[in-house]
Structure 1
Amino acid sequence: MVASAIFILDSKGKTLISRIFRGDVDADIAGDFCARVIDVDDESGLKPVFRVDSKQRTYAYVKYSNLYVVGVTMRNSNAAMLLEFLNKLVGVFKEYFKEVQEESIRDNFVIIYELLDEMMDFGFPQVSESKVLQQASRVPTPTKPAFVLEPLQYITQDYHVLEVPRPPVAVTNAVSWRSEGIKHSRNEVFLDVIEKVNIVISGNGSTLRSEILGSLMVKSLLSGMPDLKLGLNDRLQLSEAGKNRREKSVDLEDIKFHQCVRLSKFESDRTISFIPPDGEFELMSYRLNMQVRPLVWVDAVIELKATRVEYLVKVRSQLKPRCVANNVQIRLPVQLDADTPSFKCSSGKYKYVPAKDELVWTIKQLKAGRELVMRGRFNLPSIGENQERDNATKRPITVSFEVPYFAVSGLQVRFLKVMEKSGYRALPWVRYITQAGDYQIRIV
């Protein structure tokens, strides 16, 4: 893959960052892109990669927040690799600036140009790992102090010695995401199995959509060059290992790995073998299309009257025994002209958010099998369109929560082994967390 230029545009097509690597593109590349993508009325036919035959030019772009990150190539390059580089570039910006928006791009344009020069050399991708880039940016430029020449007492000005910085060890090493010589006083590795439940429930209680999005997040605090092996209760892995099929297993779908994972090893025996980067990273993500019983159930009766609207809301935990849902938030739709809320909760607190036309019921902990009730009312003006008010309460109820020590899919870590040539003992820690993703309960 050879990129001729990378540039970043705002939502109106104004250029915020422009970096031309090979000098083989015209100055109108941003305007040409705007005319074909940003200024079009019908966006249904837009594609992330398109070619302008008249100019022998190919564009690839990623839209993130209110920005367009665009790559241009004048050669028959690998379009998928160019798109992957643009996504990596956005990921690096997120690591550095936390929020990738127009304001953060303007505030950090100097370091963005430096990152582009480190990540791409004459159009060829070089380094895309944020930790390696941070290591490269710490190369010091030594300053020689003024010297005195005896006996004439000549004093020269301070000057800087131009030192050609050596590339990070990780760039020239076979393991490009980890540098050598890493040391930790306490060797530990933390593995979080985080699963988000996306579910949509109709007004009659049937499930319209149900899926689980999972990720394995690793925080590695290991010295040297450790080699880790991770085993899951994946159905294919248990079958090939000759395990009893009665042992609970899961079918993983749409698996994506960090680049440190040895894919050949996974394809042969379904073992996840890898040398981890130092610090935090996402080892793996997956998706499961499976019917999930709603973990938190909400019943809401909203009765609209002439001058008020009354609410009766019941929330019930359908978790397994000894499981607890923490920080439960239930967001209920409210009419546009409602005012003067008056509610009572058997547990938790309520808050009216007029900016979003919703009532938020917050419960710190909801134990398994427990049912809580909230009832109350809003006042309404005496004059109003009933149809408009009815539509306001047809918006779905959204729920958010977190259940620690629980994986809703049944995924389990069977083993996590750490091997390093020095032979030190490492402490592996595993934690399971289930969260509400797009969790909606429709009223009608």
Structure 2
Amino acid sequence: MASQVHFLDIKGKPLLSRDYKGDIPPNTIEKFPLLILELEDDNDEESNYKPFINHQGINYIYISHNNLYICALTRKNENVMAIIVFLSKIVEVLTQYFKTLEEESIRDNFVIIYELLDEMMDFGYAQTTDTKILKQYITQDYFKLVKKTPSRIVQPPNAVTNSVNWRSDGIMYKKNEAFLDVVESINMLISASGHVLNSEILGKIKIKSHLSGMPDLRLGLNDKGIFSEETNNRNLDLEDIKFHQCVRLSKFENEKIITFIPPDGEFTLMSYRLSSNQFLVKPLILVDCKIKVHQHSRIEIICSVKAQIKKKSVANNVEVMIPIPEDADTPKSSAQYGSVKWHPEKACLIWKLRTFPGGKQYFMSSELGLPAVSDPEAILSKRPIKLNFSIPYFTTSGIQVRYLRINEPKLQYQSYPWVRYITQAGDDYTVRIK
């Protein structure tokens, strides 16, 4: 994978190096600063984004972080992205150890960095990169010279030699619980007339595991959550599915069953995406906004919102961000429900509704002065209304957890998992004014 790993300052001066194979001369890294300068001087824009340089049969694969270069050298035609991911994991681990990774922290902690590099890579091949596991036997005590008598030898945790390297043995809880959240973020682009122009769902299944021992979990989803199954005379296919490393992929591929031994604590078990043709296209919260311009000296905004969800459902913490001209001033606002505040730094009015029951509709109005703008409608037509909201106990896609079975063969305790559903506005839930 990699023959050498080097840490360099912003000028390309080596700070710390580790040679794993010995097949590349140690002074080869001295050419790296000149190669970087040549790359920056290159007029080809695409070359400025290349994460590697090939020079005289040597591959220089690098990333930058806090005025540092972390560079790996190799002779062979290696997988560049795999090495970049490994270098990024080095940065992640060192940052969790030292809080910030910079030139000074490298100089102050070179001993522990060498030990971490030796554990994370063996003869150029990536090994353990999980910070929780590394911290079990590489700690700040390594700043001191400790004579390792047989009684004081630090043994690697079982997770390193165990096939389940994301979970260590001996985890115990007085109360065994598992919390599962199905969170769907919906992005929508809605026209001024209320028609959906584009939409997608970004879903995640998150788990917080407080379980003792080495539990084995099995997750069952309803028919709408089964992949490529027939539902209502059409296929509902989850796209861009990504699983946590704990999921047994072979079991899923063969039987469509999600089984796993969970890490301790919080993690994302699965993420997925649904495009607009995979679910019912309907705005969950519909916004109708009218703008009247009065002799270019003031504008009047009349806005209504309607919760197009079931009456038993409630949207929480709804925010309707209505754009206004940057030089608008002295707003006078009133709302049938909730509160409206002027945010001049964001050039918008924010209408907040703490709770919004399904089927309800509310109105607000605002009048603002316009000292200088000549065509406010043209300006506002370029900036859509943005919404934020959260709807508990509801998923747009219809995914439901049928069961989450927990089995710990040795301890054989009983545990009752908790399941929640949340639909929320994504980063791009917007409504056009014009």
Q: TM-score under structure 2 normalisation?
A: 0.82
Q: How many residues align?
A: 413
Q: Contact 2:8 / 2:16 at 8 angstroms: preserved in 1?
A: no
Other-structure match for 1:186: 175
Q: Give the alignment of 1:138-217 within 5 angstroms.
A: 138=139, 161=147, 164-217=153-206
SS of 1:260's partner is coil
1:16 and 1:400 mapped to 2: Cα distance? 48
Correspondence for 2:285 among 273, 296, 300: 296
Structure 1 residues 351, 187: CA separation in 2 closer, same or farther (over 3 Å shift)? Answer: same
Q: Which amino acid aligns with 2:205?
A: L
SS of 2:30's partner is coil
2:256 pairs with 1:270: yes
Structure 1 residues 433, 134: CA separation in 2 closer, same or farther (over 3 Å shift)? Answer: farther
Structure 1 residues 198, 169: CA separation in 2 closer, same or farther (over 3 Å shift)? Answer: same
Q: Contact 1:348 / 1:361 at 8 angstroms: preserved in 2?
A: yes
Q: Which amino acid aligns with 1:135?
A: Q
Provide Cα deviations, 1:169-228, integer angstroms capped at 9, x if missing partner.
211211111111111111111111111101112334332221111111111111111111
Other-structure match for 1:222: 211
Q: Give the alignment of 1:249-288 within 5 angstroms.
A: 250-288=236-274
Q: Which amino acid aligns with 1:379?
A: G
Structure 1 residues 333, 246: CA separation in 2 closer, same or farther (over 3 Å shift)? Answer: closer
Shift of 1:97: 8.8
Q: Contact 2:285 / 2:307 at 8 angstroms: preserved in 1?
A: yes
1:230 and 1:404 mapped to 2: Cα distance? 21
2:361 and 2:8 mapped to 1: Cα distance? 51
Q: Give the alignment of 1:380-419 within 5 angstroms.
A: 380-381=370-371, 384-387=372-375, 390-419=378-407
Correspondence for 1:339 among 310, 329, 347: 329
Shift of 1:165: 3.2
Other-structure match for 1:52: 54
2:340 pairs with 1:350: yes
Other-structure match for 2:304: 314
SS of 2:333's partner is strand
Structure 2 residue runs of 5 or longer lacking an equivalent are: 20-25
Shift of 1:386: 1.7
Q: Contact 1:238 / 1:245 at 8 angstroms: preserved in 2?
A: no
Other-structure match for 2:4: 4
Between 305-314 and 178-187, the greater mean CA deviation after superposition: 305-314
Other-structure match for 2:81: 80
SS of 1:266's partner is helix
1:69 and 1:194 mapped to 2: Cα distance? 37
Provide Cα deviations, 1:232-277, integer angstroms capped at 9, x if missing partner.
135694888xxx9669984211111111111100001010111111
Between 289-298 and 161-170, the greater mean CA deviation after superposition: 161-170
2:46 and 2:382 mapped to 1: Cα distance? 28
Correspondence for 1:364 among 354, 371, 381: 354
Structure 1 residues 20, 178: CA separation in 2 closer, same or farther (over 3 Å shift)? Answer: same
1:136 and 1:17 mapped to 2: Cα distance? 28
Shift of 1:6: 5.7
Superposed CA RMSD in Å reads 3.6
2:136 pairs with 1:135: yes
2:418 pairs with 1:429: yes
1:341 and 1:95 mapped to 2: Cα distance? 47
SS of 1:21's partner is strand
Shift of 1:42: 7.1
Q: Contact 2:306 / 2:360 at 8 angstroms: preserved in 1?
A: yes
Shift of 1:121: 5.1
Other-structure match for 2:366: 376
Q: Contact 1:302 / 1:312 at 8 angstroms: preserved in 2?
A: yes
Q: Which amino acid aligns with 1:189?
A: A
Provide Cα deviations, 1:365-395, integer angstroms capped at 9, x if missing partner.
11101111110111121xx242477324530
| Aligned-residue identity in percent | 41
Shift of 1:70: 5.3
1:14 and 1:279 mapped to 2: Cα distance? 41
Q: TM-score under structure 1 normalisation?
A: 0.80
Shift of 1:25: 4.0
Structure 1 residues 83, 200: CA separation in 2 closer, same or farther (over 3 Å shift)? Answer: farther
Structure 1 residues 140, 74: CA separation in 2 closer, same or farther (over 3 Å shift)? Answer: closer
1:396 and 1:68 mapped to 2: Cα distance? 40
Q: Contact 1:329 / 1:362 at 8 angstroms: preserved in 2?
A: yes
Q: Contact 1:195 / 1:213 at 8 angstroms: preserved in 2?
A: yes
2:176 and 2:282 mapped to 1: Cα distance? 39
SS of 2:185's partner is strand
Structure 1 residues 84, 376: CA separation in 2 closer, same or farther (over 3 Å shift)? Answer: same
Provide Cα deviations, 1:25-72, integer angstroms capped at 9, x if missing partner.
4135356346536x77775676554442446224354x89x9897543
Q: Contact 1:234 / 1:249 at 8 angstroms: preserved in 2?
A: no
Between 41-50 and 164-173, the greater mean CA deviation after superposition: 41-50
Q: Contact 1:252 / 1:288 at 8 angstroms: preserved in 2?
A: yes
Other-structure match for 2:105: 109
SS of 1:251's partner is coil
SS of 2:84's partner is helix
Correspondence for 1:20 among 10, 17, 20: 17
1:32 and 1:316 mapped to 2: Cα distance? 59
1:347 and 1:77 mapped to 2: Cα distance? 61
Q: Contact 2:194 / 2:286 at 8 angstroms: preserved in 1?
A: no
Structure 1 residues 230, 362: CA separation in 2 closer, same or farther (over 3 Å shift)? Answer: same
Q: Which amino acid aligns with 1:421?
A: P
Q: Which amino acid aligns with 1:278?
A: D
Structure 1 residues 214, 72: CA separation in 2 closer, same or farther (over 3 Å shift)? Answer: same
Q: Contact 1:3 / 1:82 at 8 angstroms: preserved in 2?
A: no
1:142 and 1:44 mapped to 2: Cα distance? 43
